[in-house]
Chain A
């Protein structure tokens, strides 16, 4: 019996009829039985060796992957800012439209009421009177500030008139009772 046929019988590659014929030939030949036993042992040794090599390779590969994974930078975590940016990107049109409308409202209000105070702002301290213009045709005028007893109250504004000579003479001439 040829060695090739023995190998094919060992690997189960013969047809059922050929396999039966091979079994009969092996049974009849002690030399063929020895060869078959040797081939089977060699096959088992090779298979075991291959399995061991594969196991070692897998372990080595796993270790390599761990090293690679450890060396890779961590992916950035999604923070508040990133989420805000995502939200803004998704609603960019809405936000811009709203901001535009609000700006228009602000401008309109400031134009219509330029001296207004922001709602919710702390109340402003009272202010002393402001003299925007002063004319004293027959004398001169001085603007004075008289402090208040209350530190939180504004100073009192006084317009102090100093009559000219002509006015004083008229006053003396009149000398009318009050």
Chain B
């Protein structure tokens, strides 16, 4: 067996053990959910049932009413800002990268900017999160309650 063939075999075996790298996704699909929390004794909006587990725990357990005030899908092209109008301002997403797949999930890096209705920047953050779990931004007071923004994204 020639040295060249042995080298190819060893290199091939090593390459097969290399990290399963995620294909570089060019876009991500996000679902932006707007919620207002209050103590109006109306319970959880049926459309928010998927958030029941999270909204029943602190710090959200301080409220007994959660109302869905808006929900939309946003497609974010990689490295291109994507804006979405909200009931309380504007959301700007910047899909930065899709990281290595873990446990069948994708790890996404996003830049998230939230501006209020006056056009002032409320928050600017860079977050890395799993495609299956939403990020929550909460705390801003709105009329009749507290504003909660849920952001969940996935990329193929």
Of the stretches A15-23, A30-38, A67-75, A135-143, the one at the interface is A135-143
Interface size on A, residues (CB 8 A): 66
The prevalent SS among residues of B at the interface is mixed
Total A-B contacts with CB atoms under 8 angstroms apart:
198
**Mask: chain A, 122-156; 1 = CB below 8 Å from B; 0 = not:** 01111111111111111101001011110001101
Known: A156-B136, A159-B123, A159-B136. A178 touches B129 (CB 8 A): no
Asked whether A113 is an interface residue with its Cβ less than 8 Å from the other chain, the reply is: yes
Which of the listed residues B11, B15, B53, B69 has the most CB atoms from chain A within 10 Å of its own CB?
B11
Asked whether B80 is an interface residue with its Cβ less than 8 Å from the other chain, the reply is: no
Interface size on B, residues (CB 8 A): 64
Of the stretches A2-10, A52-60, A81-89, A167-175, the one at the interface is A167-175
Besides A98-B9, A133-B125, A158-B138, 7 other A-B contacts (C-beta < 8 A)? A98-B6, A117-B20, A127-B102, A135-B123, A158-B136, A161-B139, A178-B143
| Chain B positions near chain A (C-beta within 8 angstroms) | 1, 3-4, 6-11, 13-21, 36, 53-54, 57-60, 69, 87-88, 99-105, 107, 109, 116-118, 120-130, 132-144
